[in-house]
């Protein structure tokens, strides 16, 4: 499993609400994609302009070669494409052995 983090900085609360609404729609594509294991969009409590999307993929290759080149990406991108300029980080991370889940 690989975790993709996408960090957004939006200009104001209204734009943040638009981002959440866009991901509510984009989530339908993630739900339909077999490459996606889980996802969450979080809003920062200390900074109302900051949002973090966390997506668990089966692998980086399954994300890039499967999802992005597959049938669900077009609808996903249509939902969130208006927020590309507000992305300040987008990387894949390998989870280390320092991990706990309940």
Query: pTM for this structure?
Result: 0.94
For the chain, which residues make up each domain, given as ranges? 2-94
What are 36-77's pLDDT values in tens digits? 999 999 999 999 999 999 999 999 999 999 999 999 999 999
Fold adopted by 2-94:
Alpha-Beta Plaits (3.30.70)
Q: Which residue has the tokens 């991370």?
A: 93
Kindly tell me the sign of the dihedral angle through the C-alpha atoms of 83, 85, 86, 89: positive
Asked if residue 101 has pLDDT above 90, the reply is no
Contact predicate 51/19, CB 8 Å:
yes
> Residue 36: CB partners within 8 Å, gap ≥ 6?
30, 55, 56, 57, 67
Reported residue count of the chain is 102
């Amino acid at each position: 499993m690989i975790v993709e983090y996408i960090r957004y900085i939006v200009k104001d609360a209204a734009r943040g609400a638009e981002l959440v609404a866009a991901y509510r729609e984009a989530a339908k594509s993630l739900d339909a994609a077999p490459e996606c294991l889980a996802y969450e969009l979080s809003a920062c409590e200390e900074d109302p302009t900051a949002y973090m999307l966390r997506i668990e993929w089966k692998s980086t290759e399954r994300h890039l070669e499967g999802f992005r080149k597959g049938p669900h990406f077009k609808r996903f991108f249509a939902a969130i494409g208006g927020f590309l300029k507000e992305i300040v980080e987008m990387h894949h991370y390998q989870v280390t052995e320092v991990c706990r889940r309940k």
